[in-house]
């Protein structure tokens, strides 16, 4: 029995037997039984040194890979069903690494009703993960294209904290390389450090929020904030053929983010606009529906905040008392730069 087959066997044991899964990992394809209706499908690939830091904890990496895909389903208002997990890694890597990755991905998916159906193991000079996840829209699918002039622009959570977490992780890494005590960043409490690192390493996909918005037909458009509030607001504006104006002083800057930004001597808003990796939802709501959303906002364990408004025109801008600034191109282009 080859190493690949032995690993598939172990992953199959981990996966157990999910409802609807007729045939799980270990054959040429997975077989799932499925009722009629819409299917939402997404995929994301994570590459070592580009989308995650070398030496990342494999179980956490698996959770994050699942979360990135779950976030896409959340942005469509879809309930997760099944996923396929591909892992390519150097032949010298311990067998525990792919197992821990699978374990993490399954745990994160299970929390939102998703299960592993199958996957692929392959060799590569560096670690690469790819997940394809599918699910079922809870109501009408949320798309990027339905925003209308007059709608309010909402965002969940605290965009910018993940980007701060990545910078902090690198800072700690540099301290370690220097032989310094990594935990000694006196300007930032241990609790603040944990919060930022966790926002980057272990984002919480907004599946319950997204499916609620879809089921209740509350959002006219939605996108997940994966590359920065700026670039993603630009995408939503372009798909909808409208203009998004975000108000700088309405952006949800947490005390933690403000403390980190002070340490780095940057404007915390820059991290929110251009940071990326947040996996929060940016969505638009008819003003008349806003009270209905407020009634339920507490259910999602995350603040929902009105940060701007939709108008006729094009583009995405950040407004402050001094004027407006184009932000539609500010953020991370996965395809252009390794971070």
Q: What phi and psi values does residue 175 have, to the nearest 5 degrees?
A: -60, -45
Angle between helices 96-110 and 3-15 (to 10 degrees): 20
Asked if residue 40 binds a copy of itself (CB under 8 A), the reply is yes
Asked if residue 37 binds a copy of itself (CB under 8 A), the reply is yes
Asked if residue 237 binds a copy of itself (CB under 8 A), the reply is no
Residue 75 or 253 with smaller CB distance to a copy of itself = 75
Indicate the helix (H) or strand (E) that contains 213: helix 207-215
Query: Rounded to an integer, what distance in angstroms lies between the CA atom of residue 126 and that of residue 90?
Result: 6
Other C-beta atoms lying within 10 Å of the C-beta of residue 47 = 16
What dihedral angle (degrees, nearest 10) is formed by the CA atoms of 249, 253, 259, 260?
-110
Least Å distance, CB 255 to a copy of itself, is 30
Least Å distance, CB 214 to a copy of itself, is 11
Least Å distance, CB 42 to a copy of itself, is 4
Asked if residue 251 binds a copy of itself (CB under 8 A), the reply is no
Residue 54 or 186 with smaller CB distance to a copy of itself = 54
Other C-beta atoms lying within 10 Å of the C-beta of residue 144 = 20
Asked if residue 319 binds a copy of itself (CB under 8 A), the reply is no
Residues 160-189, one symbol each (x = binds a copy of itself by CB under 8 A, - = not), give: ------------------------------
Asked if residue 249 binds a copy of itself (CB under 8 A), the reply is no
Query: Rounded to an integer, what distance in angstroms lies between the CA atom of residue 144 and that of residue 222?
Result: 5
Asked if residue 262 binds a copy of itself (CB under 8 A), the reply is no
Chosen residue from 34, 217, 292, 298 binding a copy of itself by CB under 8 A: 34
Asked if residue 91 binds a copy of itself (CB under 8 A), the reply is yes
DSSP-assigned letters across all residues of 216-278: TT--SEEEEESS-HHHHHHHHHHHHTSEEEEEGGGS---HHHHHHHHHHTS-HHHHHHH----
Least Å distance, CB 41 to a copy of itself, is 5
Closest to 302 in 3D by CA, of 201, 168, 174, 161: 161
Query: Rounded to an integer, what distance in angstroms lies between the CA atom of residue 27 and that of residue 100?
Result: 21
Least Å distance, CB 92 to a copy of itself, is 11
Asked if residue 145 binds a copy of itself (CB under 8 A), the reply is yes
Query: Please, which of residues 115-134 interact with a copy of itself by CB under 8 A?
Result: 117-126, 128, 130, 132, 134
Least Å distance, CB 337 to a copy of itself, is 7
Site size toward a copy of itself, by CB under 8 A: 77
Residue 22 or 262 with smaller CB distance to a copy of itself = 22
Query: Rounded to an integer, what distance in angstroms lies between the CA atom of residue 178 and that of residue 219?
Result: 49
Residue 16 or 249 with smaller CB distance to a copy of itself = 16
Least Å distance, CB 296 to a copy of itself, is 22
Asked if residue 47 binds a copy of itself (CB under 8 A), the reply is yes
Residue 16 or 26 with smaller CB distance to a copy of itself = 26
What dihedral angle (degrees, nearest 10) is formed by the CA atoms of 291, 160, 70, 45?
150
Least Å distance, CB 142 to a copy of itself, is 8
Q: 75 Cβ partners below 8 Å, 6+ apart?
A: 142, 210, 222, 223, 224, 281
């Amino acid at each position: 029995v080859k190493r690949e087959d032995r690993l598939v066997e172990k992953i199959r044991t981990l996966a157990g037997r999910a409802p609807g899964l007729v045939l799980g990992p270990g054959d040429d394809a997975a077989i799932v039984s499925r009722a009629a209706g819409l299917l939402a499908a997404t995929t994301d690939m994570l590459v070592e040194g580009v989308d995650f830091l070398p030496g990342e904890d494999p179980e956490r990496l698996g959770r994050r890979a699942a979360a990135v895909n779950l976030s896409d389903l959340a942005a469509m208002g879809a309930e997760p069903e099944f996923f396929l997990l591909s892992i390519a890694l150097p032949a010298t890597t311990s067998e525990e690494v792919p197992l821990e990755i699978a374990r993490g991905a399954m745990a994160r998916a299970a929390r939102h009703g998703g299960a592993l159906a199958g996957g692929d193991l392959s060799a590569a000079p560096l670690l690469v993960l790819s997940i394809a996840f599918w699910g079922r829209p809870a109501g009408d699918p949320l798309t990027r294209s339905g925003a209308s002039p007059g709608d309010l622009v909402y965002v969940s959570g605290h965009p910018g904290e993940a980007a701060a977490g990545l910078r902090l992780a690198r800072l700690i890494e540099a301290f370690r390389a220097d032989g310094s005590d990594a935990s000694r960043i006196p300007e930032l409490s241990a609790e603040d450090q944990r919060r930022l690192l966790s926002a980057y390493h272990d984002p919480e996909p907004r599946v319950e929020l997204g499916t609620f918005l879809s089921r209740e037909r509350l959002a006219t458009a939605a996108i997940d904030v994966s590359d920065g509030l700026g670039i993603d607001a630009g995408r939503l504006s372009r798909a909808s053929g409208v203009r998004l104006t975000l108000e700088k002083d309405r952006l949800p800057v947490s005390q933690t983010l403000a403390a980190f930004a002070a340490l780095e001597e940057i404007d915390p808003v820059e991290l929110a606009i251009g940071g990326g990796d947040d996996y929060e939802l940016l969505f638009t709501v008819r003003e008349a529906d806003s009270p209905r959303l407020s009634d339920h906002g507490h259910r999602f364990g995350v603040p929902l905040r009105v940060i701007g408004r939709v108008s006729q025109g094009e583009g995405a801008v950040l407004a402050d008392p001094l004027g407006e600034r184009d932000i539609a191109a500010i953020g991370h282009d996965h395809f252009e730069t390794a971070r």
